[in-house]
Amino acid sequence: MTVRMLYARPLPGVVGETRRITHAFPAPSGDEDPEQVTPLCGAEFAAQDLEPLTAVSGAPCESCIASAARRVREQSRLVAAGPTGDIEARLSRIEEQLNLIAAKVDQLSRVVAALLGW
């Protein structure tokens, strides 16, 4: 069980330059309307107004980050308390989640460092 995220920001001209922040979107499950996409923070965008990104770049949306962290925490808790599977499988899934969190923190640190010019 992994939390796969996609990143995108509004194309130039769709919103003011200061609002062109990077939002996190849950990977589509196939049931959504492909024309209308909703990031974790709940803002709504027409898919055509977004620039897909391969990673967080530029200023990240703080609400999306907070929501992503909350989702990972909840999922880790569910995995840890899961009624099925042996302890080794559950621990390995928890480790997977921790690695994902570490990768996100690393990615965000690099974004912040780049923004601060370090």
Closer residue to Zn ion (CB): 68 or 79: 68
> Does 100 help bind Zn ion (rule: CB under 5 A)?
no
The DSSP result for 10-68, as a single string, is: EPBTTB-GGG-PBEEEEPP-S-S-TTEE--TT---EEGGGEEEESS--SSBPHHHHHHH
Residue among 64 and 72 whose Cβ is closer to Zn ion:
64
CA nearest to 114, candidates 60, 67, 52:
60
Looking at the Cβ atoms of 25 and 79, the one nearer to Zn ion is: 25
Stated as kind and residue range, the H or E segment containing 23 is: strand 23-26
Question: Whole-number minimum distance, CB 24 to Zn ion, in Å?
Answer: 7
Decide: is 41 part of the binding site for Zn ion (CB under 5 A): yes
- Report if residue 61 touches Zn ion, rule: CB under 5 A: yes
Q: Which residues bind Zn ion (CB under 5 A)?
A: 23, 39, 41, 61, 64
